[in-house]
Structure 1
Amino acid sequence: MKLKSIILSLALLCFTGVFAKDYNASIFGIKSNGTTLNTTSIQKAIDLIHEEGGGHLNFYVGRYLTGTIELKSDVHIILHEGAILVGSTNIYDYNIETPNTALVYAKNADNISITGLGVIDGQGRDVAYSLLDQVHKGIINDQLKYDRPANRRPKGIYFRECRNVEISGITIKNTAEWVQVYDQCENLKIDKITVDSKAFWNNDGLDIVDCKDVLLTNSFIDSSDDAICFKSHDATKMCENVEVRNCVARSSASGIKFGTVTRGGYKNFKIINNKVYDTYRSAIAIQTPDGGVIENILIDSLNVYNTGNAIFLRIGERWAKNGVGSMNNITIQNVYAEIPATKPDAGYPYEGPIEDLPRNISPASIVGLPGHDITNVTLRNIEIVYPGGSNKTYAYRGIKPADLDGIPEMPDRYPEYSQWKELPAWGFYVRHAKNLTFENVTLTAKEKEYRPAIVFDDVKGATLKDMEYNFPGSGKKLFKYKSTEIIQK
């Protein structure tokens, strides 16, 4: 990772911030009463500060109602404690004809920031209902999915191709779609933010798309869709040189996720000392279904509580024209995870669906495709506690050749750890992998299991050292199937 580049760029951002001129929002006629629509006056302030060479636009205590505003180079918004930037509930106050409508938008801007102890409140549920009303009346044409608008819902923040970006201290809440998206940005710093966005469907907490040199630290993200999500939308770009430290995530989808869209890929990631809890799907999901390359990923010191799945690694082939991607050099270490018997996000405003049944609790999975192995994966100092108690009269998958061969490859399926329904292991299921290392891995099932702890199928070179299996009864610990070579130490 080019840490020197990040440090120099952030130092430059801080330097320009120290000597930039301060402007109070009120001098531009921006009202803090929560009812006056301030879009034009806020935009005038941003434009003037940009034209004058940059500076700080300060918002103090109050509610500042606005539609879409565009942040421009060298302009730094400071939301002081008690200041709330409030999204209009009228869908026509947003840039809905652009590909990525948002409350705060920026494109090709350098040296920009949103900082302070204030709040961005998107009022997303009301905004989405405003849009839905216009769709039902035939004024806006939108492809509804489950009677929910698929397009034109504004994000909280959308920055595209921006450089030297800082987001720190603020709370972002209640957006109508993805909370914040940073798309092909460079030198991005996000620190000490809070995301609370469970107001509507498809509310990713944080999406980092094809960005370079990213530092995400000390943040809390609670969202109804994926919490911390890395995407790659452009086959000529990658998400690379990314570090995530000291964050807490909760989601009614996945906690920390690579994908789903993975066209270019991801390279050089460090995800260290984080926590995932009350999360419906996977704590860590690393997947390439769209031809992207994934390499050099380190996940270290992860604590997982009340989450549907601990680890999911997957190669797929969803879009055949992009070919098959690859996954290489993945290290996951120092992980403690507790998987519940019940739905982990029950009671949250937007829960994950009850789907892919019947199945018992799914294992952690590493699943490539025939001829496209997941390679060089190390799992070190891992402890996963499962509820156990699988019932083979409810769902059954045996370990006879016909049973294992009957597990479909599903290359074009949207990748989820539960997509195969019942799997033949309760701890780990590994298929189409090469050069795999399990070191000091402890798997515990609290109640009896009819399935073995681990099943390997087409694993070309696996080294197992200091393994521990804890479960009642005398069930199988390890089962290896065809084309599998295992060294146990």
Structure 2
Amino acid sequence: MRHQKTIILILFIFIQSLAVSAKDYKASFFNIKSDGLTMNTRSIQFAIDYINKKGGGRLIFYVGRYLTGSIHLKSNVTLQLEEGAVLLGSTNPFDYDRIGNTALIHARDLENVGITGKGMIDGQGRALANNSIQYANAGLIEDILKYDRTRESIRPMVIYFYGCKNVNIKEIILQNSACWLQTYERCKELVIDSITVNNVAFWNSDGIDVVDCDNVIITNNNINAADDGICLKSHNEKFYCNNILIENNIVRTSANGIKLGTAGKGGFKNIKIINNTVYNTYRSAIALQSVDGGFLEDIVVDGLKSTNTGNVIFLRLGERLAGKKSTLKRILIKNVVADVPLGKADTGYDYEGPIEDMPRNISPIIIAGLPGQYIEDVTFSNFDISYPGGGSKFMAFVALDKLDNIPEVPAGYPEFSMFKEVPAWGIYVRHAKNINFSNINLKAEKKDYRLPIVMDDVHNALLKKMKFEQIEQKKLLYTYKSTNVSVN
């Protein structure tokens, strides 16, 4: 941990030194208009190119509304939006360039770039997405309109950085993307600090996506997203996410709070998730998933407050690509305080999680490997979890001698609800080895028809200082096809 803090300090000092030495240029110097009506794409791009040729600096936007289509950053250039400045994305899909992905702000294979300041970037995503649907219906855009919306690659995100080094995203307000808000792919030395995200304008609206990046700091951010809040991905089997710190963030989503591995072709290693808060979130507060042939290992979660969230911890090993085996091991999760609701945690938000995926009875912790492919070396300690209980006995899975009936779904999209009903209201572990739980407090407020803990095909497990409260239930644990499971 001390080593990672040193990396943070070095990165901040380096970025600040760049800011001190760089020259500032006012947007008005380049005749960039702040009336919210003039299309400034060419003027802003000219300014970026000019500053780059002059050795670098900051392009500063003061109070006003600046309308633009796609712009492309250059090395040693930072966009600085002062408080009251709003960079507005065009609502016309044809004003956006596609280079790998469609985005408002592109950066590709650059060094020393950033977006800073207390201003705002507004993607105007709802109008932009609806216009893309209108143009698709008119035949101007080719799309099958699955789920009555255009595909993700057509709907522009706000930020797409690829292959960049020394990236600083700080204090800015980012909102209303038509799709994923900001994606950083194969970047190194990336800092995302103290930003505000309000990305609930349309479907597929993630807060932060980090893909196959190295040395990343994501700290002190406040995120409200319709889709996953902070999502780490791996798109290429030759690359992986490495040495990433996710600390002191507040996250609310209608999907998962902090997630590793919707896409996991390469992998994830050396990830620290420290002192974060997740609230009013439909799916999992923390989801660690290795399902596409890659690896997920050496992960630390230390300090999590999860309030009104459908599932607290979900660990999943899958096989979505035929013949591609994945691994998930060496996971430490500690110091967790959580409560889960009986109903939908995101009721009332514009884009709620799908009701058809809603399990009838919630399970706060699920660890699910595959037959012959075990999740390994997992340690949980210092948990305090409150569950409302009161689940429906008609829906609850209580046939403990028939655990084989719970579907494996190795190729299924990984979500904690993928198994529908599971047999434990507290902790359900399946296909795992070397699992340790210590100092775990579980409380069911009302009567539940399931046991606190069920282990299926689990080998070498230790449960120490386990406490639970459950009306009319005195038994803590049921094991099935398991060996060397001890309770102390």
* TM-score > 0.5 by shorter chain: yes
Q: C-alpha root-mean-square deviation of aligned residues, in Å? A: 1.3
**1:467 matched to which residue of 2?**
466
Cα offset, 1:144, TM superposition: 1.4
**2:36 corresponds to:** 34
Equivalent-residue separation in structure 1 for 2:84 and 2:117 (angstroms): 10
Q: Summarize deviations over 1:222-256 as a string: whole Å, max 9, x none.
A: 00000011001111001010001111000000000
Q: Distance in 2 between matches of 1:3 and 1:300?
A: 15
**Matches of 2:4 and 2:397 in 1, distance apart?**
49
CA contact (8 A) 2:312 2:338 kept: yes
Give the paired residue count.
485
Task: Give the drift of 1:21.
Answer: 1.1
Amino acid at match of 1:39: T
Structure 1: runs of 5+ lacking an equivalent: none
The partner residue of 1:243 within 238, 242, 245 is: 245
Q: Given the alignment of the two structures, is residue 306 of structure 1 paired with residue 305 of structure 2, yes or no?
A: no
Identical counterparts, % of pairs: 52
- In the other structure, the counterpart of 1:361 is 362
In the alignment, the residues of structure 2 paired with residue 471 and residue 91 of structure 1 have an alpha-carbon distance, to the nearest angstrom, of 55
Counterpart contact for 1:456–1:484, Cα < 8 Å: no
The one-character-per-residue Cα deviations of 1:310-335 (angstroms, maximum 9, x if unpaired) are 000000000115x1111111000000
Q: By how many angstroms is 1:141 displaced?
A: 0.2
Q: Which residues of structure 2 form unaligned runs of 5+? A: none
* TM-score, normalised via structure 1 length: 0.97
Counterpart of 2:430 in 1: which secondary structure? strand
Are the aligned partners of 2:396 and 2:423 in contact in 1 as well (CA < 8 Å)? no
Counterpart residue number, 1:381: 382
2:77–2:112 contact (8 Å) kept in structure 1: yes
2:129 is aligned with what amino acid? A
Structure 1 equivalent of residue 122 of structure 2: 121
In the TM superposition, residue 267 of structure 1 has moved relative to its aligned partner by 0.4
Work out whether residues 62 and 84 of structure 1, in 8 Å CA contact, stay in contact via their aligned partners in 2.
Answer: yes
Matched, 1:338 2:336: no
CA-to-aligned-CA distance 1:374-407 (integer Å, 9 cap, x gap): 111000001111111122223434101xx20111
Query: Helix, strand or coil for the counterpart of 2:238?
Result: coil
Equivalent residue runs for 1:19-418 within 5 Å: 19-95=21-97, 97-150=98-151, 151-321=153-323, 323-356=324-357, 359-400=360-401, 403-418=402-417
Taking the aligned partners of 2:473 and 2:21, their CA distance within structure 1 comes to 70
The change in CA–CA distance for 1:424 and 1:105 in structure 2 (over 3 A counts) is: same
User: How far apart are the structure 1 equivalents of 2:359 and 2:206?
Assistant: 28
Shift of residue 467, structure 1, vs aligned partner: 0.3
Q: Which AA in structure 2 matches 1:262? A: G
Does the CA-based 8 Å contact 1:358-1:394 persist in structure 2?
Answer: no
Residues 35-81 of structure 1: CA distance to partner in whole angstroms, max 9, x if unpaired? 00000000000001111110110000000000000111000111001
In the alignment, does 2:450 pair up with 1:448? Answer: no
TM-score (norm 2): 0.97
User: Cα deviations across residues 157-208 of structure 1 (Å, max 9, x unaligned)?
Assistant: 1100000000001100011000101101000011110000100000000001
Shift of 1:122: 0.4
Contact in 1 for aligned 2:451/2:473 (Cα 8 Å):
no
Q: What is the match of residue 485 of structure 2? A: 486
Residue 131 of structure 1 and its aligned partner are, at CA, apart by 0.8
**3-state DSSP of counterpart to 1:419:** helix
Letter in 2 for 1:240: N
Cα 1:7–1:282, aligned 2, differ >3 Å: closer, same or farther? same
> Any idea what SS the aligned residue of 1:101 has?
strand
* Secondary structure, aligned partner of 1:213: strand
Q: Classify 1:194/1:358 alpha carbon distance in 2 versus 1 (closer, same or farther; 3 Å).
A: closer
Q: Deviations over 1:123-147 (max 9, x none)?
A: 0000001111110001110131210
Assess if the C-alpha contact under 8 Å between 2:363 and 2:428 holds in 1: no
| Contact kept in structure 1, 2:251 and 2:277, CA below 8 Å | yes
User: How far, CA to CA, are the matches of 2:395 and 2:103 in structure 1?
Assistant: 46
Counterpart-to-counterpart distance in 2, 1:74 and 1:127: 30
Is this contact kept in 1: 2:454–2:478, CA < 8 A? yes
Is this contact kept in 2: 1:6–1:213, CA < 8 A?
no
| Rounded Cα–Cα distance in structure 2 between residues aligned with 1:393 and 1:144 | 38
How far off is 1:20 after superposition? 1.1
1:421 counterpart = 2:420: yes
Superimposed CA distance per residue, residues 278-321 of structure 1 (whole angstroms, 9 cap, x where no aligned partner): 00000000001101111110001100000000000000000115
Aligned residues of 2:455 and 2:482 also touching (Cα < 8 A): no
Q: Which moved more, 1:54-63 or 1:13-22?
A: 13-22
Task: Give the Å deviation of 1:359.
Answer: 3.0
- Aligned residue for 1:45, secondary structure, equals helix
